Amino acid sequence: MPLTMFIQDRMLSSWSLRAHLVMEIAGLPHELRQMPGGDPAFAAKMQAAAAPAITVPTLTGEGGLIAWDSLALTETLAEMAPDAPIWPGDRVARAWARSLAAEMHSGFAGLRGACPMNLSLVYERIAPAGDVAASVAADVARIEALWALTRARFGAGGPWLFGATFTAADAFFAPVAARFITYGLGEGAETRAYCAAIIAHPGFRRWRAMGVAEGAPSPRYDLPLARGPWPGPAVIPAEATEAGPAINAACPYSGKPVAAGSLARIDGRVIGFCNPFCRDKSVADPGAWPKLAPLLA
Protein backbone atom coordinates (compact mmCIF):
# COMPACT_ATOMS: atom_id res chain seq x y z
CA MET A 1 0.00 0.00 0.00
CA PRO A 2 1.23 3.54 -0.67
CA LEU A 3 0.68 4.75 2.92
CA THR A 4 2.09 3.25 6.12
CA MET A 5 1.24 4.50 9.59
CA PHE A 6 3.51 3.59 12.50
CA ILE A 7 1.76 3.10 15.83
CA GLN A 8 2.37 1.63 19.29
CA ASP A 9 0.30 -0.39 21.77
CA ARG A 10 -3.37 0.23 20.98
CA MET A 11 -4.45 0.15 24.62
CA LEU A 12 -1.85 2.65 25.82
CA SER A 13 -0.78 4.92 22.95
CA SER A 14 -3.09 7.93 22.93
CA TRP A 15 -1.28 9.56 20.02
CA SER A 16 -1.64 6.41 17.92
CA LEU A 17 -5.37 6.36 18.65
CA ARG A 18 -5.74 9.97 17.51
CA ALA A 19 -4.00 9.29 14.23
CA HIS A 20 -6.06 6.15 13.64
CA LEU A 21 -9.32 8.04 14.10
CA VAL A 22 -8.21 10.80 11.73
CA MET A 23 -7.22 8.16 9.20
CA GLU A 24 -10.68 6.62 9.54
CA ILE A 25 -12.19 10.00 8.64
CA ALA A 26 -9.83 10.28 5.66
CA GLY A 27 -10.79 6.81 4.46
CA LEU A 28 -7.46 6.23 2.69
CA PRO A 29 -6.04 2.70 2.25
CA HIS A 30 -3.00 2.21 4.44
CA GLU A 31 -0.89 -0.34 6.27
CA LEU A 32 -0.41 -0.23 10.03
CA ARG A 33 3.04 -1.04 11.36
CA GLN A 34 3.17 -1.52 15.11
CA MET A 35 6.40 -0.63 16.88
CA PRO A 36 7.03 -2.16 20.32
CA GLY A 37 6.47 0.20 23.23
CA GLY A 38 8.94 0.38 26.11
CA ASP A 39 11.85 -0.68 23.87
CA PRO A 40 15.08 1.22 24.73
CA ALA A 41 15.98 1.06 21.04
CA PHE A 42 12.63 2.43 19.91
CA ALA A 43 13.95 5.77 18.63
CA ALA A 44 16.75 4.04 16.71
CA LYS A 45 14.27 1.63 15.14
CA MET A 46 12.03 4.49 14.10
CA GLN A 47 15.03 6.30 12.64
CA ALA A 48 15.88 3.20 10.62
CA ALA A 49 12.30 2.84 9.38
CA ALA A 50 11.31 6.47 8.81
CA ALA A 51 14.10 8.97 9.57
CA PRO A 52 13.99 11.60 10.97
CA ALA A 53 10.98 10.31 12.92
CA ILE A 54 11.64 9.12 16.47
CA THR A 55 8.02 8.99 17.68
CA VAL A 56 4.61 7.60 16.75
CA PRO A 57 2.35 8.20 15.03
CA THR A 58 4.34 8.62 11.85
CA LEU A 59 2.91 8.48 8.35
CA THR A 60 5.00 7.52 5.34
CA GLY A 61 4.11 7.31 1.68
CA GLU A 62 5.28 7.42 -1.89
CA GLY A 63 7.75 10.04 -2.99
CA GLY A 64 9.49 10.20 0.38
CA LEU A 65 6.43 11.42 2.28
CA ILE A 66 7.01 11.48 6.05
CA ALA A 67 4.80 13.19 8.65
CA TRP A 68 6.07 12.43 12.17
CA ASP A 69 3.83 14.63 14.28
CA SER A 70 0.12 14.09 14.87
CA LEU A 71 -0.91 17.60 13.81
CA ALA A 72 1.31 17.45 10.72
CA LEU A 73 -0.09 14.00 9.98
CA THR A 74 -3.64 15.34 10.31
CA GLU A 75 -3.03 18.26 7.96
CA THR A 76 -1.29 15.95 5.48
CA LEU A 77 -4.29 13.64 5.44
CA ALA A 78 -6.61 16.64 5.02
CA GLU A 79 -4.63 17.59 1.91
CA MET A 80 -4.69 14.02 0.58
CA ALA A 81 -8.43 13.58 1.21
CA PRO A 82 -9.85 17.10 0.67
CA ASP A 83 -13.45 15.86 0.52
CA ALA A 84 -13.22 14.03 3.86
CA PRO A 85 -14.64 15.95 6.86
CA ILE A 86 -11.38 15.95 8.79
CA TRP A 87 -12.03 19.60 9.67
CA PRO A 88 -15.39 21.44 9.66
CA GLY A 89 -16.33 22.96 6.32
CA ASP A 90 -17.11 26.39 7.76
CA ARG A 91 -14.03 28.62 8.07
CA VAL A 92 -14.94 29.92 11.55
CA ALA A 93 -15.69 26.43 12.87
CA ARG A 94 -12.53 25.10 11.23
CA ALA A 95 -10.36 27.70 12.99
CA TRP A 96 -12.00 26.76 16.31
CA ALA A 97 -11.47 23.03 15.66
CA ARG A 98 -7.81 23.52 14.77
CA SER A 99 -7.33 25.55 17.96
CA LEU A 100 -8.89 22.77 20.01
CA ALA A 101 -6.61 20.17 18.46
CA ALA A 102 -3.54 22.37 18.93
CA GLU A 103 -4.33 23.00 22.61
CA MET A 104 -4.80 19.28 23.14
CA HIS A 105 -1.54 18.63 21.29
CA SER A 106 0.51 20.92 23.51
CA GLY A 107 -1.34 21.14 26.81
CA PHE A 108 -2.90 19.30 29.74
CA ALA A 109 0.38 17.93 31.08
CA GLY A 110 -1.11 17.38 34.55
CA LEU A 111 -3.85 15.11 33.27
CA ARG A 112 -1.52 13.23 30.95
CA GLY A 113 1.07 12.65 33.63
CA ALA A 114 -1.28 11.52 36.40
CA CYS A 115 -3.78 9.63 34.22
CA PRO A 116 -2.15 7.77 31.32
CA MET A 117 -4.57 6.35 28.76
CA ASN A 118 -5.38 2.69 29.36
CA LEU A 119 -8.30 1.31 27.37
CA SER A 120 -8.26 -1.96 29.29
CA LEU A 121 -9.18 -0.53 32.69
CA VAL A 122 -11.85 1.36 34.61
CA TYR A 123 -10.75 2.35 38.11
CA GLU A 124 -12.66 3.51 41.10
CA ARG A 125 -12.53 7.30 41.11
CA ILE A 126 -8.91 8.40 41.31
CA ALA A 127 -7.92 11.06 43.83
CA PRO A 128 -4.42 12.41 43.06
CA ALA A 129 -2.72 14.19 45.94
CA GLY A 130 -1.28 17.67 46.40
CA ASP A 131 -0.10 19.67 43.41
CA VAL A 132 -0.97 16.81 41.08
CA ALA A 133 -4.60 16.98 42.19
CA ALA A 134 -4.72 20.72 41.51
CA SER A 135 -3.12 20.27 38.10
CA VAL A 136 -5.49 17.49 37.08
CA ALA A 137 -8.52 19.42 38.36
CA ALA A 138 -7.48 22.50 36.40
CA ASP A 139 -7.02 20.46 33.21
CA VAL A 140 -10.36 18.70 33.64
CA ALA A 141 -12.15 22.00 34.22
CA ARG A 142 -10.55 23.56 31.14
CA ILE A 143 -11.45 20.56 28.97
CA GLU A 144 -15.05 20.51 30.16
CA ALA A 145 -15.34 24.26 29.53
CA LEU A 146 -13.95 23.84 25.99
CA TRP A 147 -16.34 20.99 25.25
CA ALA A 148 -19.34 22.93 26.59
CA LEU A 149 -18.46 26.13 24.69
CA THR A 150 -17.86 24.23 21.46
CA ARG A 151 -21.05 22.21 21.73
CA ALA A 152 -23.08 25.33 22.55
CA ARG A 153 -21.76 27.22 19.53
CA PHE A 154 -21.30 24.49 16.92
CA GLY A 155 -22.69 21.22 18.26
CA ALA A 156 -26.40 21.39 17.43
CA GLY A 157 -27.73 18.37 15.55
CA GLY A 158 -25.34 15.67 16.70
CA PRO A 159 -23.26 14.18 19.52
CA TRP A 160 -19.87 15.53 18.43
CA LEU A 161 -18.10 18.78 19.18
CA PHE A 162 -19.22 20.17 15.82
CA GLY A 163 -22.60 18.49 15.65
CA ALA A 164 -23.36 15.59 13.37
CA THR A 165 -19.86 15.13 11.96
CA PHE A 166 -16.96 13.48 13.81
CA THR A 167 -13.89 15.62 13.05
CA ALA A 168 -10.21 15.72 13.93
CA ALA A 169 -11.12 17.75 17.02
CA ASP A 170 -13.09 14.77 18.34
CA ALA A 171 -10.24 12.44 17.37
CA PHE A 172 -7.75 14.53 19.35
CA PHE A 173 -9.97 14.52 22.44
CA ALA A 174 -10.94 10.83 22.18
CA PRO A 175 -8.11 9.65 24.47
CA VAL A 176 -9.13 12.34 26.96
CA ALA A 177 -12.69 11.03 26.99
CA ALA A 178 -11.26 7.55 27.58
CA ARG A 179 -9.20 8.90 30.48
CA PHE A 180 -12.28 10.49 31.99
CA ILE A 181 -13.95 7.06 31.91
CA THR A 182 -10.93 5.10 33.16
CA TYR A 183 -10.25 7.41 36.10
CA GLY A 184 -13.78 8.64 36.90
CA LEU A 185 -13.10 12.26 35.94
CA GLY A 186 -15.42 15.01 34.79
CA GLU A 187 -18.78 16.22 36.00
CA GLY A 188 -22.15 16.77 34.44
CA ALA A 189 -24.48 14.99 32.07
CA GLU A 190 -23.06 16.69 28.96
CA THR A 191 -19.54 15.50 29.72
CA ARG A 192 -20.74 11.95 30.38
CA ALA A 193 -22.80 11.94 27.18
CA TYR A 194 -19.84 13.08 25.07
CA CYS A 195 -17.50 10.50 26.62
CA ALA A 196 -20.09 7.77 26.03
CA ALA A 197 -20.42 8.84 22.39
CA ILE A 198 -16.64 8.68 21.93
CA ILE A 199 -16.25 5.13 23.22
CA ALA A 200 -19.27 4.04 21.14
CA HIS A 201 -17.78 5.49 17.94
CA PRO A 202 -17.21 2.62 15.46
CA GLY A 203 -13.59 3.54 14.82
CA PHE A 204 -12.84 3.72 18.54
CA ARG A 205 -14.56 0.35 19.10
CA ARG A 206 -12.55 -1.32 16.33
CA TRP A 207 -9.29 0.12 17.67
CA ARG A 208 -10.03 -1.12 21.18
CA ALA A 209 -11.15 -4.55 19.90
CA MET A 210 -7.79 -4.95 18.15
CA GLY A 211 -6.08 -3.94 21.37
CA VAL A 212 -7.99 -6.63 23.26
CA ALA A 213 -6.98 -9.15 20.57
CA GLU A 214 -3.33 -8.25 21.10
CA GLY A 215 -3.53 -9.37 24.73
CA ALA A 216 -3.03 -7.65 28.05
CA PRO A 217 -1.06 -4.40 27.72
CA SER A 218 2.09 -3.64 29.66
CA PRO A 219 1.30 -3.08 33.38
CA ARG A 220 3.65 -0.08 33.57
CA TYR A 221 0.76 2.35 34.08
CA ASP A 222 -1.37 0.19 36.39
CA LEU A 223 -2.53 1.67 39.69
CA PRO A 224 -3.33 -0.28 42.89
CA LEU A 225 -7.05 0.53 42.75
CA ALA A 226 -10.21 -1.54 42.41
CA ARG A 227 -11.31 -2.07 38.83
CA GLY A 228 -14.61 -2.38 37.04
CA PRO A 229 -15.72 -3.48 33.56
CA TRP A 230 -15.19 -1.32 30.50
CA PRO A 231 -18.49 0.43 29.64
CA GLY A 232 -19.89 1.14 26.21
CA PRO A 233 -22.33 -0.54 23.84
CA ALA A 234 -23.45 -4.05 24.75
CA VAL A 235 -21.18 -6.66 23.21
CA ILE A 236 -22.66 -9.52 21.18
CA PRO A 237 -21.90 -12.86 22.89
CA ALA A 238 -18.79 -14.40 21.32
CA GLU A 239 -15.96 -16.82 22.08
CA ALA A 240 -13.20 -18.67 20.27
CA THR A 241 -14.06 -22.27 19.49
CA GLU A 242 -12.53 -25.39 18.00
CA ALA A 243 -15.91 -26.81 16.99
CA GLY A 244 -16.89 -26.36 13.36
CA PRO A 245 -17.80 -26.27 10.66
CA ALA A 246 -17.92 -22.54 9.93
CA ILE A 247 -20.85 -21.08 8.03
CA ASN A 248 -18.40 -19.25 5.73
CA ALA A 249 -15.50 -20.41 3.57
CA ALA A 250 -13.61 -17.11 3.38
CA CYS A 251 -12.50 -14.60 6.01
CA PRO A 252 -14.90 -11.64 6.03
CA TYR A 253 -11.97 -9.22 6.20
CA SER A 254 -9.30 -10.55 3.85
CA GLY A 255 -11.27 -12.90 1.62
CA LYS A 256 -8.65 -15.58 2.28
CA PRO A 257 -9.70 -19.16 3.09
CA VAL A 258 -10.74 -19.90 6.65
CA ALA A 259 -7.74 -21.25 8.58
CA ALA A 260 -7.62 -24.06 11.11
CA GLY A 261 -7.69 -22.78 14.71
CA SER A 262 -9.39 -19.53 13.69
CA LEU A 263 -13.06 -20.18 14.45
CA ALA A 264 -15.39 -18.22 16.71
CA ARG A 265 -18.90 -18.79 17.95
CA ILE A 266 -20.63 -15.43 17.65
CA ASP A 267 -24.26 -15.06 18.63
CA GLY A 268 -24.72 -18.80 18.11
CA ARG A 269 -23.05 -18.95 14.68
CA VAL A 270 -19.64 -20.52 14.01
CA ILE A 271 -17.68 -18.12 11.82
CA GLY A 272 -14.22 -18.71 10.40
CA PHE A 273 -11.33 -16.30 9.87
CA CYS A 274 -7.98 -16.39 8.11
CA ASN A 275 -5.93 -16.10 11.30
CA PRO A 276 -6.35 -15.95 15.09
CA PHE A 277 -6.02 -12.15 15.20
CA CYS A 278 -9.02 -11.67 12.90
CA ARG A 279 -10.91 -14.11 15.11
CA ASP A 280 -9.92 -12.43 18.36
CA LYS A 281 -10.69 -8.86 17.28
CA SER A 282 -14.12 -10.11 16.19
CA VAL A 283 -14.72 -11.90 19.48
CA ALA A 284 -13.72 -8.76 21.39
CA ASP A 285 -16.53 -6.68 19.82
CA PRO A 286 -18.46 -8.38 16.99
CA GLY A 287 -20.76 -5.42 16.49
CA ALA A 288 -17.90 -3.09 15.59
CA TRP A 289 -17.09 -4.72 12.25
CA PRO A 290 -19.27 -3.90 9.21
CA LYS A 291 -17.69 -6.70 7.16
CA LEU A 292 -18.76 -9.20 9.81
CA ALA A 293 -22.35 -7.97 9.95
CA PRO A 294 -23.68 -9.97 6.93
CA LEU A 295 -22.63 -13.23 8.62
CA LEU A 296 -24.52 -12.24 11.77
CA ALA A 297 -27.71 -11.16 9.99
**Is pLDDT of 286 > 90?**
yes
What's the pLDDT at 38? 73
Least confident of 41-55, 247-261, 275-289: 41-55
Residues 6+ apart with CB under 8 A from 125: 183, 184, 185
Amino acid 131: pLDDT: 56
Condensed to tens digits (0 to 9), the pLDDT of residues 228-239 reads 899 999 999 999
Q: Does domain 4-80 have CATH number 3.40.50.300?
A: no
Most confident of 40-54, 75-89, 106-120: 75-89
| Lowest-confidence region among 108-112, 120-124, 126-130 | 126-130
**Predicted pLDDT of residue 222:** 84
Where are the domain boundaries for CATH 1.20.1050.10 in the chain? 91-205
pLDDT band at 220; cut points 50, 70, 90: confident
For the 91-205 domain, the top CATH level (class) is mainly alpha
| Contact criterion met (CB below 8 Å) for 168 and 25 | yes
DSSP 159-201: SBTTBTS--HHHHHHHHHHHHHHHHT---SHHHHHHHHHHHHS
pLDDT of residue 33: 94
Q: Which residues pair with 211 in a beta bridge?
A: none
Please, where in the chain does CATH 3.40.30.10 lie? 4-80
Contacts of 51 (CB under 8 A, 6+ apart): none
Predicted local confidence at residue 132, as pLDDT:
61
Over the stretch 142-156, which tens digit does the pLDDT of each residue have? 999 999 999 999 999
Q: What is the average per-residue pLDDT within 178-189?
A: 92
Residue 129 predicted with pLDDT over 70: no
The pLDDT mean for the chain works out to: 94
98-115: average pLDDT = 95
Sheet holding 58-61, edge to edge: 31-34, 4-7, 58-61, 65-67
